[in-house]
Amino acid sequence: MLEQKLEQLKTIFTQMEKALIAYSGGIDSTLVAKIASDVLGNRVLAITAESPSLLPEDLEEARIQAAAIGITHEIVQTHEIDNPNYTSNPINRCYFCKSELHDTLKPIALQRGYPYIIDGVNADDLRDYRPGIQAAKERGARSPLAEVGITKMEVRQLSKQLELPWWDKPAQPCLSSRFPYGEEITIPKLQRVGRAEIYLRKLGLTNLRVRSEGDTARIELPPEQIKEFVLTTDLPELVSVFQDFGFVYVTLDLEGFQSGKLNRILTGIARE
Protein backbone atom coordinates (compact mmCIF):
# COMPACT_ATOMS: atom_id res chain seq x y z
CA MET A 1 0.00 0.00 0.00
CA LEU A 2 2.78 2.42 0.93
CA GLU A 3 4.74 1.52 -2.19
CA GLN A 4 1.66 2.26 -4.24
CA LYS A 5 1.34 5.70 -2.66
CA LEU A 6 5.00 6.39 -3.38
CA GLU A 7 4.49 5.51 -7.03
CA GLN A 8 1.44 7.79 -7.13
CA LEU A 9 3.58 10.62 -5.76
CA LYS A 10 6.20 10.03 -8.42
CA THR A 11 3.50 10.00 -11.09
CA ILE A 12 2.22 13.41 -9.94
CA PHE A 13 5.68 14.91 -10.44
CA THR A 14 6.22 13.05 -13.70
CA GLN A 15 3.19 14.93 -15.05
CA MET A 16 4.74 18.27 -14.09
CA GLU A 17 7.24 20.02 -16.33
CA LYS A 18 8.70 22.05 -13.47
CA ALA A 19 7.80 22.62 -9.83
CA LEU A 20 8.61 25.05 -7.04
CA ILE A 21 8.55 23.57 -3.53
CA ALA A 22 7.49 25.64 -0.53
CA TYR A 23 10.22 24.09 1.58
CA SER A 24 10.19 24.64 5.35
CA GLY A 25 12.79 22.00 6.20
CA GLY A 26 10.23 19.89 8.08
CA ILE A 27 9.98 16.21 7.23
CA ASP A 28 6.84 16.69 5.10
CA SER A 29 8.19 19.29 2.69
CA THR A 30 11.59 17.59 2.73
CA LEU A 31 10.08 14.30 1.58
CA VAL A 32 8.21 16.14 -1.16
CA ALA A 33 11.42 17.92 -2.18
CA LYS A 34 13.33 14.62 -2.28
CA ILE A 35 10.80 12.86 -4.50
CA ALA A 36 10.36 15.90 -6.74
CA SER A 37 14.13 16.18 -7.13
CA ASP A 38 14.45 12.47 -7.97
CA VAL A 39 11.79 12.80 -10.68
CA LEU A 40 12.43 16.28 -12.10
CA GLY A 41 16.14 16.77 -11.46
CA ASN A 42 17.17 20.38 -12.05
CA ARG A 43 13.63 21.33 -13.04
CA VAL A 44 12.62 21.70 -9.39
CA LEU A 45 13.42 24.53 -6.99
CA ALA A 46 13.02 24.55 -3.20
CA ILE A 47 12.45 27.91 -1.50
CA THR A 48 12.50 28.51 2.23
CA ALA A 49 10.91 31.60 3.76
CA GLU A 50 13.04 33.36 6.36
CA SER A 51 11.24 35.43 8.98
CA PRO A 52 11.39 36.13 12.74
CA SER A 53 9.08 33.15 13.35
CA LEU A 54 11.72 30.70 12.07
CA LEU A 55 14.65 29.73 14.27
CA PRO A 56 18.02 30.41 12.60
CA GLU A 57 19.01 26.88 13.62
CA ASP A 58 16.00 25.45 11.73
CA LEU A 59 16.90 27.52 8.68
CA GLU A 60 20.40 26.08 8.77
CA GLU A 61 18.98 22.55 9.03
CA ALA A 62 16.85 23.26 5.96
CA ARG A 63 20.00 24.28 4.08
CA ILE A 64 21.84 21.13 5.14
CA GLN A 65 18.95 18.84 4.18
CA ALA A 66 18.50 20.51 0.78
CA ALA A 67 22.21 20.07 0.07
CA ALA A 68 22.01 16.40 1.08
CA ILE A 69 19.08 15.86 -1.28
CA GLY A 70 20.85 17.72 -4.05
CA ILE A 71 17.97 20.08 -4.77
CA THR A 72 18.46 23.70 -5.79
CA HIS A 73 17.61 25.74 -2.72
CA GLU A 74 16.96 29.44 -2.25
CA ILE A 75 15.86 31.61 0.66
CA VAL A 76 13.43 34.52 0.49
CA GLN A 77 12.31 36.99 3.10
CA THR A 78 8.67 37.13 4.13
CA HIS A 79 7.14 39.97 6.12
CA GLU A 80 4.08 38.61 7.89
CA ILE A 81 5.32 40.34 11.05
CA ASP A 82 4.43 43.66 9.38
CA ASN A 83 0.78 42.63 9.02
CA PRO A 84 -1.42 43.55 12.02
CA ASN A 85 -3.83 40.80 10.97
CA TYR A 86 -1.00 38.40 11.79
CA THR A 87 0.59 40.04 14.82
CA SER A 88 -2.76 40.48 16.60
CA ASN A 89 -2.77 36.67 16.65
CA PRO A 90 -6.40 35.86 15.78
CA ILE A 91 -7.53 32.25 15.54
CA ASN A 92 -6.87 32.34 11.78
CA ARG A 93 -3.37 33.80 12.16
CA CYS A 94 -1.92 31.04 9.97
CA TYR A 95 -4.10 32.20 7.09
CA PHE A 96 -2.23 35.50 6.95
CA CYS A 97 1.15 33.77 7.31
CA LYS A 98 0.52 31.41 4.39
CA SER A 99 -1.00 34.25 2.37
CA GLU A 100 2.26 36.16 2.75
CA LEU A 101 4.28 33.07 1.86
CA HIS A 102 2.38 32.24 -1.30
CA ASP A 103 2.03 35.88 -2.36
CA THR A 104 5.84 35.92 -2.22
CA LEU A 105 6.36 32.61 -4.01
CA LYS A 106 3.79 33.02 -6.80
CA PRO A 107 5.53 35.91 -8.61
CA ILE A 108 8.82 34.00 -8.44
CA ALA A 109 7.17 30.94 -9.94
CA LEU A 110 5.55 32.95 -12.72
CA GLN A 111 8.72 34.87 -13.52
CA ARG A 112 10.86 31.73 -13.74
CA GLY A 113 8.34 29.52 -15.47
CA TYR A 114 7.34 27.13 -12.69
CA PRO A 115 3.69 26.22 -13.33
CA TYR A 116 3.23 24.49 -9.96
CA ILE A 117 3.84 25.51 -6.36
CA ILE A 118 3.94 22.48 -4.08
CA ASP A 119 3.65 22.32 -0.30
CA GLY A 120 4.09 19.59 2.31
CA VAL A 121 0.52 19.38 3.62
CA ASN A 122 -0.26 15.75 4.47
CA ALA A 123 -3.54 13.88 4.91
CA ASP A 124 -3.56 14.32 8.70
CA ASP A 125 -3.27 18.09 8.32
CA LEU A 126 -6.63 18.14 6.56
CA ARG A 127 -8.28 16.80 9.73
CA ASP A 128 -6.81 19.51 11.95
CA TYR A 129 -7.58 23.22 12.19
CA ARG A 130 -5.19 24.65 9.58
CA PRO A 131 -6.47 27.95 8.14
CA GLY A 132 -3.19 28.30 6.25
CA ILE A 133 -4.25 25.46 3.98
CA GLN A 134 -7.11 27.59 2.69
CA ALA A 135 -4.74 30.47 1.89
CA ALA A 136 -2.47 28.13 -0.08
CA LYS A 137 -5.38 26.61 -2.00
CA GLU A 138 -6.74 30.05 -2.89
CA ARG A 139 -3.40 30.80 -4.51
CA GLY A 140 -3.30 27.58 -6.50
CA ALA A 141 -0.81 25.55 -4.48
CA ARG A 142 -0.90 21.76 -4.68
CA SER A 143 -0.41 19.28 -1.83
CA PRO A 144 0.68 15.92 -3.32
CA LEU A 145 0.98 14.17 0.05
CA ALA A 146 -2.63 15.01 0.87
CA GLU A 147 -3.76 14.20 -2.67
CA VAL A 148 -2.36 10.68 -2.35
CA GLY A 149 -3.62 10.29 1.23
CA ILE A 150 -0.23 10.04 2.92
CA THR A 151 -0.39 10.50 6.70
CA LYS A 152 2.29 11.89 9.01
CA MET A 153 3.26 8.37 10.08
CA GLU A 154 3.59 7.34 6.44
CA VAL A 155 5.74 10.41 5.77
CA ARG A 156 8.14 9.11 8.41
CA GLN A 157 7.98 5.57 7.04
CA LEU A 158 8.73 6.72 3.50
CA SER A 159 11.51 9.03 4.69
CA LYS A 160 13.13 6.14 6.55
CA GLN A 161 12.69 3.85 3.54
CA LEU A 162 14.41 6.45 1.34
CA GLU A 163 17.22 6.63 3.93
CA LEU A 164 16.65 10.26 4.85
CA PRO A 165 18.51 10.64 8.16
CA TRP A 166 15.96 13.10 9.54
CA TRP A 167 13.00 10.70 9.18
CA ASP A 168 12.28 10.97 12.93
CA LYS A 169 12.81 14.73 13.17
CA PRO A 170 10.29 16.29 15.58
CA ALA A 171 7.73 18.67 14.12
CA GLN A 172 8.76 22.31 14.46
CA PRO A 173 5.85 24.63 13.65
CA CYS A 174 6.60 28.34 13.49
CA LEU A 175 7.38 30.10 16.75
CA SER A 176 4.14 32.08 16.60
CA SER A 177 2.29 28.88 17.49
CA ARG A 178 3.70 29.17 21.02
CA PHE A 179 1.39 32.06 21.92
CA PRO A 180 -2.27 31.85 22.96
CA TYR A 181 -4.68 33.38 20.46
CA GLY A 182 -5.22 37.05 21.10
CA GLU A 183 -1.78 37.74 22.58
CA GLU A 184 0.17 40.11 20.36
CA ILE A 185 3.16 38.63 18.58
CA THR A 186 6.33 40.71 18.51
CA ILE A 187 9.88 40.03 17.38
CA PRO A 188 11.31 40.19 20.94
CA LYS A 189 8.72 37.65 22.11
CA LEU A 190 9.55 35.32 19.22
CA GLN A 191 13.25 35.66 19.96
CA ARG A 192 12.94 34.82 23.65
CA VAL A 193 10.85 31.72 22.89
CA GLY A 194 13.37 30.68 20.27
CA ARG A 195 16.32 31.11 22.61
CA ALA A 196 14.51 29.17 25.34
CA GLU A 197 13.80 26.22 23.04
CA ILE A 198 17.37 26.17 21.75
CA TYR A 199 18.61 26.12 25.37
CA LEU A 200 16.45 23.06 26.07
CA ARG A 201 17.59 21.36 22.87
CA LYS A 202 21.18 21.78 24.01
CA LEU A 203 20.24 19.89 27.18
CA GLY A 204 19.45 16.92 24.93
CA LEU A 205 15.69 17.44 24.69
CA THR A 206 14.13 17.25 21.24
CA ASN A 207 10.34 16.93 21.32
CA LEU A 208 9.33 20.01 23.28
CA ARG A 209 7.58 23.35 23.29
CA VAL A 210 8.05 26.54 25.28
CA ARG A 211 4.63 28.16 25.41
CA SER A 212 4.65 31.87 26.11
CA GLU A 213 1.77 33.45 28.00
CA GLY A 214 2.46 37.01 29.03
CA ASP A 215 5.61 36.94 31.17
CA THR A 216 5.35 33.18 31.78
CA ALA A 217 7.22 30.41 29.97
CA ARG A 218 5.48 27.03 30.18
CA ILE A 219 7.70 24.11 29.25
CA GLU A 220 6.03 21.11 27.61
CA LEU A 221 7.89 17.78 27.44
CA PRO A 222 6.72 14.23 26.66
CA PRO A 223 5.02 12.92 29.87
CA GLU A 224 7.52 10.08 30.25
CA GLN A 225 10.41 12.59 30.36
CA ILE A 226 9.01 14.91 33.02
CA LYS A 227 10.24 13.03 36.11
CA GLU A 228 13.79 12.62 34.82
CA PHE A 229 13.86 16.25 33.72
CA VAL A 230 12.93 17.47 37.21
CA LEU A 231 15.43 15.14 38.90
CA THR A 232 18.40 15.77 36.63
CA THR A 233 18.07 19.39 35.52
CA ASP A 234 19.60 22.29 37.42
CA LEU A 235 16.24 24.04 37.80
CA PRO A 236 17.54 27.24 39.47
CA GLU A 237 20.01 27.68 36.62
CA LEU A 238 17.29 27.04 34.04
CA VAL A 239 15.01 29.63 35.66
CA SER A 240 17.87 32.14 35.72
CA VAL A 241 18.62 31.56 32.05
CA PHE A 242 14.97 31.94 31.06
CA GLN A 243 14.72 35.14 33.08
CA ASP A 244 17.76 36.45 31.23
CA PHE A 245 15.85 35.75 28.04
CA GLY A 246 13.05 38.02 29.30
CA PHE A 247 10.60 35.72 31.07
CA VAL A 248 9.54 36.47 34.65
CA TYR A 249 8.03 33.09 35.53
CA VAL A 250 9.01 29.58 34.39
CA THR A 251 6.62 26.64 34.76
CA LEU A 252 6.43 22.99 33.72
CA ASP A 253 3.25 21.62 32.13
CA LEU A 254 2.45 18.47 34.13
CA GLU A 255 0.16 17.13 31.44
CA GLY A 256 3.10 17.00 29.06
CA PHE A 257 3.69 17.92 25.45
CA GLN A 258 0.80 17.78 23.02
CA SER A 259 0.95 19.29 19.56
CA GLY A 260 -1.70 21.94 18.98
CA LYS A 261 -2.63 22.21 22.65
CA LEU A 262 -3.45 25.90 22.34
CA ASN A 263 -6.19 24.99 19.84
CA ARG A 264 -8.30 23.65 22.69
CA ILE A 265 -9.72 27.11 23.13
CA LEU A 266 -11.34 26.71 19.72
CA THR A 267 -13.81 24.11 21.00
CA GLY A 268 -17.23 25.53 20.34
CA ILE A 269 -15.84 28.42 18.30
CA ALA A 270 -16.74 28.61 14.64
CA ARG A 271 -13.66 27.74 12.64
CA GLU A 272 -14.69 28.90 9.21
> What is the pTM assigned to this prediction?
0.91
Yes or no: say if 209 and 178 are a contact pair by the CB < 8 Å rule. Answer: yes
**131 lies in the same domain as 250:** no
Residue 272 inside a domain? The answer is no
CA distance 245 to 214: 13
Q: Write out the H or E segment, with its range, that includes residue 89.
A: none
C-alpha–C-alpha distance, residues 176 and 211, integer Å:
10
Asked if 118 and 36 touch (Cβ cutoff 8 Å), the reply is: yes
Q: pLDDT value at position 261?
A: 77
Residue 244 included in any domain: yes
Q: Per residue in 131-179, pLDDT tens?
A: 999 999 999 999 999 999 999 999 999 999 999 999 999 888 899 999 9
Domain interval for residue 49: 2-161
Q: Is the dihedral of CA 264, 179, 245, 205 positive or negative?
A: positive
Task: State whether residue 264 is helix, strand or coil.
Answer: helix
Whether residue 146 sits in one domain with residue 202: no
Chain centroid to Cα 157, Å, comes to 19
What are the residue ranges in the chain where pLDDT is below 70?
267-272
| Exposure of 106 in the CB half-sphere (CA atoms within 13 A) | 14
Helix residue ranges per DSSP H, the chain: 2-14, 27-40, 56-69, 84-87, 93-112, 131-138, 144-148, 152-161, 187-202, 223-232, 235-245
**Is 179 in the same domain as 238?**
yes
Domain shared by 153 and 255, yes or no: no
Question: What CATH code is carried by the domain that includes residue 223?
Answer: 3.30.300
Q: Are 151 and 212 part of one and the same domain? A: no
